[in-house]
Structure 1
Amino acid sequence: MLIDLDAAPPSSRPRLGVLKAVPMVLLLLAIGGAAPSERARIGTAMDTGTRTVTAHLLAADALYTVDATGVQAAPLTAGGPRWRTALTVQRPQLRLEGGGSTLAVWRGEQGGITLLDARTGRERWRTDNFSVAQVLGDRIVYWQFGDGGGDGVLRMADLADGRVRWQREASALALEVDAARRYVLAVDRQGRGTAYSVADGTPVSNGRDLGVDPYAWGIGNALDLSTAEIVGDALYLHSQTFVAAYGMPELTPRWRARILAPQWLNPCGPLICVTGERGASALDPATGQVRWTSPRWRSIGPDGLAVGADSRVAWIDPVTGTVRSELGRGELAGDLLLRFDGERTVVTRLEDGGSLGVLPLGAPGECATAGEWLACLTGAPTVTVWRFTVP
Structure 2
Amino acid sequence: MLIDLDAAPPTSRPRLGMLKVVPMALLLLILGGAAPSARSRIDTVTDTGARTVTAHLLTADALYTVDATGVQAVPLTAGGPRWRTALVVQRPGLRFEGDGSTLAVWRGAQGGVTFLDARTGRERWRTGNLSVARVFGDRVVHGELDDGMLRMADLADGRVRWERAASVLALEMDAAHRYVLAVDVRGRGTVYSAADGTPVSAPRELGVDPYAWGIGNALDISTAEIVGDALYLHSQTFVAAYAMPQLTPRWRARILAPQYLGPCGPLICVTGERGATALDPADGQARWTSPRWRSIGPDGLAVGADSRVARIDPATGAVRSELGRGLLAGDLLLRFDGDRTVVTRLEDGGSLGVLPVGAPGDCTTSGEWLACLTGAPTVTVWAL
Shift of 1:130: 1.9
Find the aligned partners of 1:207 and 1:127 in 2 and give their Cα distance: 25
Match of 1:264 among 260, 281, 285: 260
Deviations 1:219-258 (CA, angstroms, capped at 9, x unpaired) = 99x9xx9711111110001000000000000000000000
| Corresponding residue for residue 284 of structure 2 | 288
Aligned length: 357
Shift of 1:35: 3.9
Deviations 1:337-363 (CA, angstroms, capped at 9, x unpaired) = 110001110000011110110011111
| Corresponding residue for residue 99 of structure 1 | 99
Residue 248 (1) aligns with residue 237 (2): no
Unaligned runs of 5+ in 1: 1-23
2:122 alignment partner AA:
R
Greater relative contact order (Cα < 8 A, sep 6+): 1
Find the aligned partners of 1:29 and 1:273 in 2 and give their Cα distance: 43
Decide whether the 8 Å contact of 2:40 with 2:354 is kept in 1: no
Residue 77 (1) aligns with residue 77 (2): yes
Residues 158 and 213 (structure 1), Cα distance of their counterparts in 2 relative to 1, 3 Å cut: closer
| Corresponding residue for residue 6 of structure 1 | none
Decide whether the 8 Å contact of 1:226 with 1:239 is kept in 2: no
Residue 362 (1) aligns with residue 358 (2): yes
Q: Percent identity?
A: 80
Decide whether the 8 Å contact of 2:36 with 2:353 is kept in 1: no
Find the aligned partners of 2:214 and 2:135 in 1 and give their Cα distance: 26
1:324 alignment partner AA:
R
| Corresponding residue for residue 197 of structure 1 | 193
Decide whether the 8 Å contact of 1:58 with 1:369 is kept in 2: yes
Decide whether the 8 Å contact of 1:41 with 1:356 is kept in 2: no
Shift of 1:41: 6.4
| Corresponding residue for residue 318 of structure 1 | 314
Find the aligned partners of 2:298 and 2:141 in 1 and give their Cα distance: 27
| Corresponding residue for residue 349 of structure 1 | 345
Find the aligned partners of 1:251 and 1:38 in 2 and give their Cα distance: 58
More off after superposition, 205-214 vs 54-63: 205-214
Shift of 1:27: 3.3
Shift of 1:38: 9.9
Decide whether the 8 Å contact of 1:104 with 1:116 is kept in 2: yes
Shift of 1:189: 1.4
| Corresponding residue for residue 9 of structure 2 | none
Match of 2:269 among 273, 276, 301: 273
Residue 27 (1) aligns with residue 23 (2): no
Q: How does 1:34-45 map to 2 (within 5 A)?
A: 34-35=34-35, 42-45=42-45
Q: What SS class does the counterpart of residue 204 from structure 1 fall into?
A: coil
Decide whether the 8 Å contact of 1:91 with 1:107 is kept in 2: yes
Find the aligned partners of 1:298 and 1:203 in 2 and give their Cα distance: 37
| Corresponding residue for residue 166 of structure 2 | 170
The two structures have a TM-score, normalised by structure 1, of: 0.87
Q: What SS class does the counterpart of residue 99 from structure 2 fall into?
A: helix
Match of 1:309 among 299, 305, 309: 305
Q: What SS class does the counterpart of residue 109 from structure 2 fall into?
A: helix
2:59 alignment partner AA:
A
Shift of 1:218: 11
Q: What SS class does the counterpart of residue 203 from structure 2 fall into?
A: strand
Shift of 1:188: 1.0
Deviations 1:134-188 (CA, angstroms, capped at 9, x unpaired) = 00110000010344xxxx0000000000000000100110000000000000011
| Corresponding residue for residue 65 of structure 1 | 65
Residues 27 and 337 (structure 1), Cα distance of their counterparts in 2 relative to 1, 3 Å cut: farther
| Corresponding residue for residue 53 of structure 2 | 53
Decide whether the 8 Å contact of 2:170 with 2:213 is kept in 1: no
Unaligned runs of 5+ in 2: 1-12, 26-33
Find the aligned partners of 1:26 and 1:329 in 2 and give their Cα distance: 27
Residue 338 (1) aligns with residue 334 (2): yes
Residues 73 and 212 (structure 1), Cα distance of their counterparts in 2 relative to 1, 3 Å cut: closer
Find the aligned partners of 1:214 and 1:175 in 2 and give their Cα distance: 10
Residues 153 and 38 (structure 1), Cα distance of their counterparts in 2 relative to 1, 3 Å cut: farther
Residues 269 and 29 (structure 1), Cα distance of their counterparts in 2 relative to 1, 3 Å cut: farther
Find the aligned partners of 1:166 and 1:54 in 2 and give their Cα distance: 34
Match of 1:184 among 153, 160, 180: 180
Residues 153 and 213 (structure 1), Cα distance of their counterparts in 2 relative to 1, 3 Å cut: closer
Q: What SS class does the counterpart of residue 42 from structure 1 fall into?
A: coil
Residue 136 (1) aligns with residue 125 (2): no
Find the aligned partners of 1:38 and 1:174 in 2 and give their Cα distance: 52
Deviations 1:33-81 (CA, angstroms, capped at 9, x unpaired) = 5447896762110011111111100000000000111000000000000
| Corresponding residue for residue 14 of structure 1 | none
1:372 alignment partner AA:
E
Decide whether the 8 Å contact of 1:25 with 1:360 is kept in 2: no
Residue 300 (1) aligns with residue 289 (2): no
Decide whether the 8 Å contact of 2:240 with 2:253 is kept in 1: yes
Q: CA RMSD in A?
A: 2.2
Decide whether the 8 Å contact of 1:29 with 1:357 is kept in 2: no
Decide whether the 8 Å contact of 1:316 with 1:323 is kept in 2: yes
